[in-house]
Each structure stands twice: as structure tokens, then as C-alpha cells.
Structure 1
Amino acid sequence: MTSYRPLHEGWTLTGGDISGVPAAVPGCVHTDLLRAGRIDDPYLDANETRLGWIGRTEWEYSTSFTATPGGRTDLVCAGLDTVAAVELNGEVIGETANMHRGYRFDVSSLLVDGDNDLKVTFKSAYSYAEGQRDRLGARPNAYDEPFNFIRKQACNFGWDWGPTLVTAGIWQPIGLETWSTARLAEVRPQVTVTGGVGRVELRVRLERLVESPVKITASVGGRTAQATVDGIEALLILTVDDPDLWWPRGYGDQPLYDLDVTLSSGSERLDSWSRKIGFRSARVDTADGGFTVVINDEPIFVRGINWIPDDVFADRITRDRLAARFRQAAEANVNYLRVWGGGRYESEDFYELADEMGFLVGQDFLFACAAYPEEEPFRSEIEAEARENVVRLASHPSLVVWTGNNENLWGHEDWDWKPALNGRTWGAGFYYDLLPRIVGELDPTRPYWPGSPYSGSPDRYPNDPAYGTTHIWDVWNTDDYTKYAAYRPRFVAEFGFQAPPTYATLRRAISDDVLAPDSPGMAHHQKAIGGDHKLARGLANHMPAHASFDDWHYLTQLNQARALAFGIEHFRSLSPLCTGTIMWQLNDCWPVTSWAAVDGDGRKKPLWYALRDAYADRLLTFQPRTGAPLTAGGPLTDIEPGAVFPPDGAPALVAVNDGRTPWTFGTTVTRRNLTGDVLATFHASATVAPGSSVTLTLPADVATPGDPRTELLATDTGTTWFWASDKDIPWPRADFTTSVSRAGDTTTVTVHASTILRSLTLFPDRLNPAATPDRAAVTVLPGESATFTIASPEPLDEAALTSRPVLRCVNDMGSTR
């Protein structure tokens, strides 16, 4: 029987003037040095800038272990980061240059009885990448870093949300595997469902020491198949009648079946392999030029988030941490996770949790925002990593789309790459040839999409919103977020707006005596070029003037939440023309001002609450819908690609139903002034079929304001519409009373409004970093109340909890209350 012995103990780290530091395996240099007290925390203040030497240093990991040689023994390295030489007892047994794949070395003849010495030496990732760049010629890149010349996690070299911390180390398990006769070298299930019958085509590849026949046995769902194999490959087919189908969250359950494979010779069990699989079909419908994810023949409106590595240092990303982040996504009504191409092929923990919780996953191949050379050694390395990871992930029902790259097709077309390339390779051969061939060979049940964005044809502009998938970044970079309304996209795979992290996260990470948007620590934790200017532009377009950092912090977080809610609700209101949105981004890898809804310490920003509301199964939203689209053809509900509605058009009420049953609703829409007087009323009602939307035109006396600066629309379910921006509205001085109660670990705050309170928000993390509210940015009409429920392990100071800067509303600007 195959046996495995991990080699995770007794490691030491040496490099530069560092010698003999205890090392954790799996792990990396930075976390080892941090534990040893040899470096300051790179996430705090500007400590990162003093640690660049780590990525330019050669590092040696060494350990000793005892062994008793016998039979075939392999040293199995699941992941080495990145350019490594592996030595056993003084002899080099292998060299590596790819973080994204594993390696196996036969060490049978080198093991000695007793003590054995194992050493892994990591060359500087910089020196390797810069050497390859010098040899092959530079290629365009979004950042002045050589990440496109090494098969390593690109964002280790910094990004517009991430620090430059170039890692090295044994980042995945390492150990000895001893086996005899034969072993299971590769097990690849292809799972399909047709006509109520689940089918598993199980392809098995063996590695052999002996040429005698061996038996492979596979079982799933009470069915068993066997094959006697003389060679190294076998195909076993298992069928399960009427299997329980795996569905994405919100559409059904996620039943998983145990698939077990054993390899035997006579009565001896040689090896085994087990996974959980799900029966479901997955495809992408592009027949009309769009991009519709279809599961079990059911079109799915994608309510997605972009996912980046949850920490710079992979050894800190535990299963529990992933589970916490996944719960945050689930509670925000997310059903789709896009694994971005500048990070990693995500872990087994990630995919197992996605399978169990019903998330759909789109996995990018690891190319992002740069031209990549296609010459050797990169072509061979990329083929090897793609083959390994496609096989590794193919058993997971949550995985539904492979994507060739992030923004490289767009970059080649639109970012002035062509003159700089001057005919040199840039990755097209990977995206249009190599990767689709590998997916077609190894995972033909899943769709492959050449890039994100991609418009469905190499001959078409890759970021055309009327086709395929699109990224919308002009809003953040150059325009106001109301420009989202000018788009009629088929599927939005990236769009986002920045804000700083929560106050507790800022205060943990930044020691500036006085926080300011441009204070040293804040400036260091803003990685986007011109980011602060863009934040200021967004505030100037919408928000009243602010007088303090506390005001700025509240307003920037609120503006981020408003921007994403505006975009998502607009895109969802275009269904079925638009079939999905994937906002940028759910998570952060460190404490930073960024586009994330959950900050680097795992705390929810106001954006998270807006995301939860905008992604609700059933959505009521006001949208400008005056007249028919300004293009030929069709009634209002038949929206054509490229159609434009007047941005100042009268609001209509749009009801979107992503639930699985019809939605019959009734709501009263009122036009009011700021003092709460009802100026006009309309009772709206409709039945909305599952997976569809209904647009209700409001009567003119409701949809037309007498004074746009002092009037609003409101439903009795809390949906509001303001004709003017907050900066142009004469908000009354906030007048309210509060009541506070506590039971167990929960504090309840009820705010009773005497005046309108715009975007009322509680920030209890200012009082206790562990305190979390249940809602944010609630607009309370005069005479009404809003209740906040706060989870907090300790009682909170009631006076502080009910006053600034903990309790905030837009009315505060210019007020001294």
C-alpha cells in the first residue's frame, strides 16, 4: 500500500545575514522571519518598503530526517515558490521554476539508513525574472515589475491594491511517498448528466514498477466498475440513475457523492483516491452574442464577486478563514466567485467549500495585465501547470468556467502594446490555442473562454459591452459612477469603486498620530495611481463638503457603497439582456484602501451591506425609463444592446425576481418632501416570474418633482430615489432620539427620526474592533425609526455609540452635533 510521510518538521532558514532561523513548512520566508522577530510586520505603516531585500536574496531551507530505505520512494513537493534546487544528502535531485505546479523526484537510491539531509535552495525570483526578460526582450506590463517573466503569483510583485512582497519558500506540503508495483498517477473524472442519468467517465493513468496486471475498482452512488489493466491507462464508466442534481446556491441543494478508486494487485491494495463529486451540467450560452451561465439547463443570473488571494502569505489562509469569507459572500447573496488571474489556482479547501456551499466558480488561468512570452521555458511550464491544475480541479462541481487570462486581450488591443511588442510574442498562442486544447482534452465538460473581458470572437474588439463579457473601469478612472447607466452590457465581469478600510483596521495598521487622507500611513496604504484624486472626484460629484478625517472616512465608504449599488441595480434591471455582474472585489489581502467589500482584517465595509441589498433575490429599484430606448425596435422591456436611456429620465419602478417562485408584490410609492409631507401616491403591484423582471411606469404626478432638490420617492419597503445629489440637497440638521438595550452579546440601537436622516450608519468598530452591525446606510424618513443590531463581545459605551463619529448620517456635514 502506498504510504506518505510528511516532512514538515525541523526546518531552518538561512539567507543573507540570516542564519538558522526556525522555519515553518508549508510557509514562506516572510512569515518565518516575522515569527523570529527578524522583521517588522510588513502590513503595518510603511514597513513593506524596507523588506524589498527579501525578494532579492537567495534562501536555503534545510532539515534532517531518519529513514529506512526500501522499495520505491519519491520526494513529493506539492509547491515550491519558485526557482529552486532540491538536494538530498548533498546531491541535486531536481530544479524547479514554477510556483503553480508540483514536482516528484525518485530518491530511492539516495536515501540512507539513518539520518538524511534535505535542502531546498531558492534563487531570487527577481534575478530569475529579470534574466529571462533580458534574454527574451521586455514585454508591456501594467506595473514596473517582471512578474510576466516568472511562473509565480503575479500580485506578489505588488498591485493597485497589494504590497510588493516577493515571497520564497516551501509553500505547499512536502513529503516522502513509498510505493510498490504501481500507483495512481492521475485520476480524472468527467461527470455529465443526460436524460436523468449521471455518467462518470473515469480516466486513470498509472505509474508502474512491475508489468504484471493490476485491478482498478471505482464506486459512486452505489455503482461499481472494475478494470484489469496491463498498461498504464484505463477508462471506467459508471452510471447513476436519477442522481440528485447539484445546484448553485439559491437554485437548489448541493448533494455530493463519494467517488472512490482503489488500485490492487491480487489481494494487496496498492493505492487509493477519493473525492466528492456532484452531478450537474454546465455550459455558457453565447448564441445571441451574450454570455449566459446555464446549469442543469437553467439560465443563472450571475451575482458575482472577484476573488483575490486572501493574504499575501498563503500559509495564513486557513480553511476556517476561507469559510468565514465564504459565509460573508453567501450572506451578501453572492452566487459566483471569479478567481482572478493574477493570483493562484485556488486550493482544495477553497473548492471543497464552494462545492458544499453552492458557489459557482470561474477560474482564470494565471495571466494578468501584461504581455507574456511564449518561448521556452515558459511554454512547457505553462502547459505543465495547466494540465496539472485542470486535472486537479476537474472533479469539483462548483467550477463552471475556465478563462484564459485577465485583461490581456484588451491590453493588446487598447493599451498601446503593439508598438512596444514590435512583433514579439505576448500570449495569444496560449489563450487561443494551447489552453483551449488542454481544456478540450482534459476537461471537455466545461466551457473555456479566452479572456476577461472577451467579446466572443478574436475579430471583435475584446471589451465591447454589447457582446460577451466586459470590464467597466472608465467609471473609476475618469468618470462619475452615474455613467454605469449609459451601459447596456451583456455581462459585466469587473467594475468597482474604492474606499478605505474600516476604522479599526486603519488604526491597527497605521500609527499616524493624526489620520488624514494623505498622512504617511494612509498614503502608503493607497496603491492605486491617482487613487486619492479619484476618491476626491467622487466625493465632489455627490457629497457635501467635509471638515474632518472622520467625515472623509464616512463619506468615501458611503460613496463606494452607492456607486456599486447604482451599477448592480442598473445592470440587474436590464435582465435578460444583461445576465451577470461580478463586482471588483470581495476581499483584500492586507489592510489597504481598495475596491473590496470586506477589508484586509475581514471587516465589512458599508459596501458589503449595499451588496447584500443589491444582490437580493427580489429587488425593487427605481431606474430612469422615460419613453422607449433611443434605438430602433421593441417596447420598453425589449432592451437592445447599446440602447441608451436619458440619464435624467423619469424614474420607473423595476422589480427583479431571481427567486425560484413567482413573486407577487404590492408597494406604495410616495413622492415626498424632506419634511416628510406626502405630495403624491401610487400603489404599484405586479407578479414577476422567476428569473425575470417587470418595469412599472409611474404616473406623472409621482414621477415628476416639483422641486428636485427637496423631494424624493420612497416605497413602503425602503427603496428610495433622489433627483438631486446629496451635495445639492438642503439637508435639515439631524434631529433624532435613540434607545439602547443589550442582551447577551447583542446590543440594539433604535434611532427615532424627527427629521429625515440620510444614509444613517453605525460604526461600532470604533469602540470595539470586534463589534459588527447588521445594516448600514439606512435612509430614515421623519417620524420613522431604524433599528441596528450589533454583535459585540463586550458592552459598548452608550453615549459614544449614539453620537459622532460612531453614529453618522449625511445631514452631519456642516453640523456640530
Structure 2
Amino acid sequence: MSKQSMPLTSGWTLHLAGGEAPEGLEGLRGGGVPARVPGCCHGDLLDAGVIEDPYVGRNELDVAWVGRADWRYDTVLPAGPAGFERTDLVFEGLDTVASVTLGGAVLGTTRNMHRAYRFDITGRAREGTPLSVRFTSAYTEAEGLRDTLGPRPNAYPEPFNFIRKMACAFGWDWGPTLVTAGMWRPVRLECWNTARLAQVRPLVTVTGGAGRVEAHLVLERTAAGEDRELRATVEVGGRTAAVTIPAGASTAVAALEVPDPELWWPRGYGDQPLHRCRVVLADPGTDAVLDEWERGIGFRTVELDQSKDGHGTAFTLVVNGTPVFARGVNWIPDDALPSRVTPARYRHRLTQAADAGVNLVRVWGGGVYEDRAFYETCDELGLLVWQDFLFACAAYPEEQPLRGEIEAEARENVVRLMPHPSLALWNGNNENLWGFKDWGWDEELAGDSWGEGYYLGLLPRVVAELDPTRPYSAGSPWSGSWRHHPNDPAHGPSHFWEAWNRRDHSDYLNDVPRFAAEFGWQAPPAYATLREALPGEELSPTSPGMLHHQKAEDGQGKLDRGLAHHFDAPATFDDWHYLTQLNQARAIATGVAHWRSHWPVCAGTVVWQLNDCWPVTSWAAVDGAGRRKPLYHELRRLYADRLLTLQTRDGAPALAVDNQSDERWEGRAHVRRMLADGTVLAEEHVPFAAAPRSVAVLPLRAEVAGITDRHKEFLVADAGDLRDVVLGCPDREFSYPAAELEVEVRPAPDGCAVAVTARSFVRDLLLQADRLDPAAEADQGRMTLLPGETRTITVRGADLTDLDETRVRAALFSVNGARP
């Protein structure tokens, strides 16, 4: 092939190029330290032992100077291949304000983390030539532009809205302030002849059962290649189409049809067949292959139903003509130092999501457009991707130079991501339309630009031009027009934060939204994660390290007020830790089960959030060390195809039989009104039948549903291995018996099995496996046992050969005190 790439990953050093360094570190201006590429300055300084791990203790504060400094990366070019007309220096990602110098001459400057850069260095790519990339502090750029354009409202005190950089690098209510710099994506030399494929944009459609691929190509030519007639060939599914590109032309379109292709479906709706799409650029005069491009594509249609009806304005994703209930999670960058997120880590985290029943992942607008590996994994797992453009919680100036950067960024990333069948929706921003309406921005802005022109003008035009096969929504939340409040639950996607911030999770029951795109409840990470992040600290909810690893405004106060609605004040840190994690799981269960039961009026729930970027008390289901919190296991129950819950209709308890599978679900549910000692006061066997993708809500007999003594009675509904339990009052008012358990530990493949038998009513029993060993994981979350019932919990991931009953009991928790 007339093209060759050479990665530039070794031989780099990092130097302090400007700004102040702590005493004793001035030597960084000279000798520097070895550097990783891809990487960032924080990672290199950490590897060299210059700084302590910012994720441990309060070290984050001690490394704040790193983000205020300027940094320079130096290397020399290796010997490159000979015989090529053109040599390019390619940076897939520079974070963020950079000047690139080769042999002392400036090649160019950059100011956008979310773009790739290419410099022609033909004739200058000689072995041993010095190459330097100098990064100016993102603070310098952002604060300077803020001074020039004037301030804009912002949910946080940092100036992230004045620079095209990962916003959450400046800190968020779940993330540290680590303002990175560096080559965060790969760097390479690329040598080529005649022409290369500068852009490939395959429009994939399905009409009348036939698939069509329309490949829009953009070429770049060398001077010698300008007068060459070229040929481009597109291959998909055994079909081939070729197009001749006249001399001097830089664009072409090649189209082909694939009859009756297997369709790509979201997880739970069908399979995910991927078809290899290969584009070959060749010189017909010499038969030389000049360039190739290859991706896995999927044939499917995706639409956004926003029709008006008696409930308001719908917001339903429709794939291959089938309305989909979105069982979603919000995704943030998986590491505060994003260059550390590998393809294997993407696969592990997204597999965790898929295993929990998730079928949609929303890439939130304060992070990054993720790596190709992220989207390819979603393609394979059937995870729909809702992709935000990168705007979050702030007013963004529409003046230059930001406007030009934003258009270039949008165009590049739409083209980069649109081949992926998992990508289902482009979204203009996170909470900015809502912010303008409700957060006092209008008055503060006094007519200054704030981003509306991006969300309602520029971005929809870019999507319509480059990716017309997918829907675009202006924001989340957004009601579809200014005729309605931006966060009106009856119109479009809504965010629900009043419950967490000011009320109780029972507040979720007051609305039936068309689409719940954000809602969440905090909890601390796993106990082992806290011990690793806060070594030696005596843990308490208000210990210094715990407070530092809690970034939400009054976060610990909100946790405690949330507990107070349901529980007495915990006596110990261990009880507080268990109850806050339990309350998080219960809160999400309240919202998801209620909203799911109102399908198809409510067409989706997207929990805030799946993952964390460091060890922190947050809304995540998987903590910063990758450990699954009880919420994760609860999601697995809530997002299963079949869900059985006790709901309220017309003021009375009812049984919701929610069937999101493609098969009819029939059976009999056993519903009992009971006392805590196991006495059954009333019961009925309720026959049910739920069609595929439907919900059956069934009334209960009054004598079963009507709790008479709210402090002693509860309802339990069972169908197969599904169960829901509802008390007649808050836990703190319920007359719980002491928890009595029998525990048996026996070996199991790759771990052990813990059989727990209840001799009394045991509410929300939880085994915190990481207390047995930091590497241990339990296969189940919270469970409620009736007297005489036995459940077996399997624990894997660690050497547990010496595990005994005493150790297990110390890791068992329940509302009514299962520990000795």
C-alpha cells in the first residue's frame, strides 16, 4: 500500500515550561521526566514520583499547581520510511492549548482537546530532528478569553465554558479538579503517495427491506497526485460498488445495496450483526492501493417519536420501527485522567452495564467524545448511544474564536462517530436551555450570547448535513420549543433533581415524565475503595478525607436528610455506610419501577450515573475503583426484561407486571399481607398476562392490599424468583423483630457459597463482599427474606479458602440488624 504509519510513542520527556512549581521541583525545567504518549502531565509526574496520587487522601489539593503550569514535551524524530511524496505529523488529540515545533520552527497552534490535528512535514522529517509540543495552561487560555468576551453564568466557579476542553477537568460535583495537559490520544507519522482518504462518511439506511450504503468520500492529494484519475471501491456484505474520481477532484460518492440484510437491534430486542464496510482508494494506472478505511456497520433505522398526544409530547426512540423503552445510564469519563482509559477498560465497564440490563448509554456533555473502542463495544453489545455535544451547565459564548472551534469540532466528531450503528441520538447540550430559563442567566447575561445559537442553529444544521440518518434533540432537558418550560415532564426529556436536593425519593412518584433523562441519589463507594483512598483515616461521615471525597454542595447533609425520611440516625460509620448505599438503591428503584409501570407514556429512564472517575461519594452504580455498589445489583433487577412491583393506582395498591421481553408473560403472582413474625393476614393468587413490550397493572383485593396496622404489616408480591416488598410505614416506625440468621459457608467454583437462612423477617439483607477481601464480589445485592427462607450468595474474585461464618456475619447487614 502507498501509505505507512509510524507511532511516536517512545522517547518523550516532560519539562516544566512556565508557571510556578513547589520548592524543590524547579529541576523540572531542565532534565524533565520520562513521558507517556498518549498520556498527560499528571500521569507522567505521578509515574516519576514527583507528585503523590491525587486520588488518595487530600493530595488533589497539593497538585493544583500542575494545572496552572505550562508544560513541554520533547522528543526527536526516528528514521522514517523513504520513498513517499508526503509525510504528515498527526496528533489524534492535544489537550488543549498547544504549540507544535519541529526543528525550531512552529508548525501550528491548537486550542481544542476534542479535535485531531495534521501537519505537513514533508522534507523536514529527518531522523534526529527535535520535536516539541508546548502546552499553555488551560487556565491561562480560558481566563484570558473570559476577560476578552466578558463573564458568562456557570454552575461552577471555574472557566471551563471558555475553552474547548473536557469541562469536568475543572472539577464537578463528583470529580476532582485536575486540569490536565498532554498528548492524550496517539501521535504518529503518516507517509503517503498520490492521495489519501481524508474523510469517509457512510450513510447507512434500510428501506423496504433493502439496505443501502452511501459512502461520501473526501480526498487529499499530493501535488503529484492532482492530475491522477483515481478509483474508490466500497465493499459491504459481499457487494461492491466502484466510482471513478476525476483528476483534481477531492470528493466522491459510492453507493451500493445489500438485499435483505440482517438488522442490528438494541440489546434485548434482537441480535447485533455487524457488516464489514471497506473502502479502498486505488490508482487504476498502477493498481496501487493508496489508502483503506474499514469499520463494522449495522443496518437499522432509528427515529425519535416526538408526536403530540393527550399526555403531552412524546420522546420515544424507535429502532427498526419498534418503540424502545430505554433502560439507560449516564456515562462520565471513566478516569479524571482520560488517557488512562484503555479499550479493555471500556469493554469491562460497558459489559458491566450490559450485564445489568442496560440498553442505552448517554455520553454526557461535560466529558469527551469517547474513543473508537467505546463505540465499537457498544456496537457489539447492543448498547444504544445517546451522544451529547460537549456543553454542560454553563452559558457558552458564541463569538470567535470559540464559534469556529465548535463548528470544526462538531463536524469532525459527527463524521468520526456516525458509522457506528449503536449511535442513536445527537443531543445539543446538558441543562443549558434549562439554565437559561430557571437559573437567572437571562438577567445576568443582559443580552450576551450564551449558546442558544449552537443548540437551535449550528448543531442541527451540522447533523442534518453530515448525518441525516439520525435524530437530533436540542438539549436535555428540553420540551421541544420555548412554548413549554424546558424541564416540563409532559414534553420531551426531563431531569429530576428536586428529590435528591430538597425532598425525598418518594417525590419521584408525583410525575409521569415522557422520558426521565437524569435522576439520581448519592451513596459512598465500597468500603474497600474508601480504605484504599483514605489509608489510615478513622472513617466517619464528616472525617476530613470523606468530606474531601464528597464534591456535591452539602452532599453529606443531603445524604443524612435523605436517611432521616426513612431511618433513625445510624449509630456507627458502618451502619451509615450500609444505609446510605441502601437508600441509593431504594431511591432509584422507586423512580424506575414507577416510571416503567407507565410505559409507553414514559419511554425511558437514564439513571445518573453508571460510573465514577475517581474514588468519591457520588450517584454512581460502579465506584471509582470499579467495584459494584448495591445500586448496580438493583439496576440488574430494575432493568431486567421482566419486573414485578407493587404500585399505586387511584390511591390503592396495585400489581404492575412489566414485560419488556418479546414473549408473552403469563403466570400467577402470590400477594400477601403479612406480619413480621411470618403470619399471613390475607393473600391472593393473581393471574396475569402481559403481552410483549407491555405493562399489565392489576388491582388487588381490598382485604389483601388494605394495611390496617401500618407499624406491623407489610405487603409482599412474588412471581417465580421476582419479589417486591412494601411496608405500611417508614422503616424507622416499623416494629421490626431482631434479625435471626443461620449462615453456612461452603466452597464453590472460584470462590465460596454463603447460604443464609432467615429465622425471622430480615429486611434488605446485604453481603458487603469487599469487607471479606478487597477483590471479592458477591453475585447479589439487597434481598428481603421471610421466616424460613434460604438464599445463597456466591462470592468470587478472591482466595476465600479460610472464610468462616464469623467473618461472613461481620460483612452482613440488614435494616433490622443481621450482624452479631
Pick from 667, 670, 686 the counterpart of residue 668 of structure 1. 670
- Number of the residue aligned with 1:393: 417
Q: CA deviation digits over 1:449-474, x for unaligned, max 9? A: 00011111133211000010000000
Q: Per-residue deviation at 1:181?
A: 1.1
2:60 is the counterpart of 1:36: no
2:60 is the counterpart of 1:48: yes
For residues 799 and 376 of structure 1, what CA distance do their matches in structure 2 show?
A: 67
Letter in 1 for 2:56: L
Change (3 A) 1:816 1:683: closer
- Number of the residue aligned with 1:632: none
Note if contact 1:303-1:580 (Cα within 8 Å) is conserved in structure 2: yes
Q: How does 1:234-313 map to 2 (within 5 A)?
A: 234-265=252-283, 266=285, 267-288=287-308, 289-313=313-337
- Number of the residue aligned with 1:639: none
For residues 754 and 218 of structure 1, what CA distance do their matches in structure 2 show?
A: 68
SS in 2 for 1:516: coil
Structure 1, 744-753 or 444-453: larger mean CA deviation: 744-753
SS in 2 for 1:514: coil
Q: CA deviation digits over 1:372-430, x for unaligned, max 9? A: 00000001000001000000001000000000000000001000011111110000010
2:570 is the counterpart of 1:570: no
Give the superposed CA RMSD: 1.1
Note if contact 2:669-2:688 (Cα within 8 Å) is conserved in structure 1: no
For residues 103 and 439 of structure 1, what CA distance do their matches in structure 2 show?
A: 22
Note if contact 2:671-2:684 (Cα within 8 Å) is conserved in structure 1: yes
SS in 2 for 1:163: coil
For residues 138 and 102 of structure 1, what CA distance do their matches in structure 2 show?
A: 28
Q: Per-residue deviation at 1:793?
A: 2.3
Structure 1, 788-797 or 403-412: larger mean CA deviation: 788-797
SS in 2 for 1:246: coil
Letter in 2 for 1:181: T
Q: CA deviation digits over 1:709-744, x for unaligned, max 9? A: 111111234221112111111111111211110133
2:223 is the counterpart of 1:204: no
- Number of the residue aligned with 1:100: 114
Note if contact 1:511-1:521 (Cα within 8 Å) is conserved in structure 2: no
SS in 2 for 1:382: helix
Q: CA deviation digits over 1:780-817, x for unaligned, max 9? A: 0112112111113211531343323x1111112xx983
- Number of the residue aligned with 2:696: 694
2:782 is the counterpart of 1:777: yes
Note if contact 1:220-1:260 (Cα within 8 Å) is conserved in structure 2: yes
For residues 302 and 418 of structure 2, what CA distance do their matches in structure 1 show?
A: 12
Letter in 1 for 2:11: G
Structure 1, 429-438 or 784-793: larger mean CA deviation: 784-793
- Number of the residue aligned with 2:15: 14
Note if contact 1:747-1:792 (Cα within 8 Å) is conserved in structure 2: no
Letter in 2 for 1:177: E
Letter in 2 for 1:95: T
Q: CA deviation digits over 1:177-213, x for unaligned, max 9? A: 1111111111100000011000011100111122221
Change (3 A) 1:792 1:223: closer
Note if contact 1:764-1:801 (Cα within 8 Å) is conserved in structure 2: no
Q: How does 1:73-472 map to 2 (within 5 A)?
A: 73-112=87-126, 114-209=127-222, 210=225, 211-230=227-246, 231-265=249-283, 266=285, 267-288=287-308, 289-472=313-496
For residues 469 and 284 of structure 1, what CA distance do their matches in structure 2 show?
A: 12
Using structure 2 for the length normalisation, give the TM-score.
0.95
Letter in 2 for 1:143: Y
Note if contact 1:8-1:174 (Cα within 8 Å) is conserved in structure 2: yes
- Number of the residue aligned with 1:589: 613
Q: CA deviation digits over 1:488-522, x for unaligned, max 9? A: 10100000000000000000001253100000110
Task: State the percentage of identical aligned residues.
Answer: 55
Note if contact 1:652-1:696 (Cα within 8 Å) is conserved in structure 2: yes
For residues 773 and 790 of structure 2, what CA distance do their matches in structure 1 show?
A: 25
Note if contact 2:748-2:794 (Cα within 8 Å) is conserved in structure 1: no
For residues 109 and 213 of structure 2, what CA distance do their matches in structure 1 show?
A: 37
Structure 1, 708-717 or 361-370: larger mean CA deviation: 708-717
For residues 404 and 552 of structure 1, what CA distance do their matches in structure 2 show?
A: 39
Note if contact 2:328-2:607 (Cα within 8 Å) is conserved in structure 1: yes
Letter in 1 for 2:707: P
SS in 2 for 1:333: coil
Structure 1, 526-535 or 260-269: larger mean CA deviation: 260-269
Q: How does 1:465-544 map to 2 (within 5 A)?
A: 465-544=489-568
For residues 136 and 685 of structure 1, what CA distance do their matches in structure 2 show?
A: 66
For residues 251 and 89 of structure 1, what CA distance do their matches in structure 2 show?
A: 56
Q: CA deviation digits over 1:240-291, x for unaligned, max 9? A: 0000000001000000001111111121111111111000000100112110
Change (3 A) 1:816 1:715: closer
SS in 1 for 2:32: strand
Note if contact 1:225-1:238 (Cα within 8 Å) is conserved in structure 2: yes
SS in 2 for 1:24: coil
Q: CA deviation digits over 1:5-62, x for unaligned, max 9? A: 1111100000052142000000000110100000000000000011111111110000
| Equivalent pairs, count | 791
Note if contact 2:233-2:280 (Cα within 8 Å) is conserved in structure 1: yes
Q: How does 1:619-634 map to 2 (within 5 A)?
A: 619-626=643-650
Using structure 1 for the length normalisation, give the TM-score.
0.96
For residues 419 and 799 of structure 1, what CA distance do their matches in structure 2 show?
A: 63
Structure 2: stretches of 5+ with no match in the other structure: none
For residues 528 and 456 of structure 1, what CA distance do their matches in structure 2 show?
A: 30
For residues 67 and 74 of structure 1, what CA distance do their matches in structure 2 show?
A: 14
2:758 is the counterpart of 1:753: yes
Letter in 1 for 2:239: R
Structure 1, 506-515 or 279-288: larger mean CA deviation: 506-515
For residues 495 and 523 of structure 2, what CA distance do their matches in structure 1 show?
A: 19
Q: Per-residue deviation at 1:754?
A: 1.1
Note if contact 1:160-1:529 (Cα within 8 Å) is conserved in structure 2: yes
SS in 2 for 1:734: coil
- Number of the residue aligned with 2:582: 558
Q: CA deviation digits over 1:333-352, x for unaligned, max 9? A: 10000000000011100000
Note if contact 1:472-1:494 (Cα within 8 Å) is conserved in structure 2: yes
For residues 716 and 579 of structure 1, what CA distance do their matches in structure 2 show?
A: 26
Note if contact 2:739-2:816 (Cα within 8 Å) is conserved in structure 1: yes
Q: Per-residue deviation at 1:595?
A: 0.2
For residues 302 and 766 of structure 2, what CA distance do their matches in structure 1 show?
A: 41
Change (3 A) 1:89 1:703: same
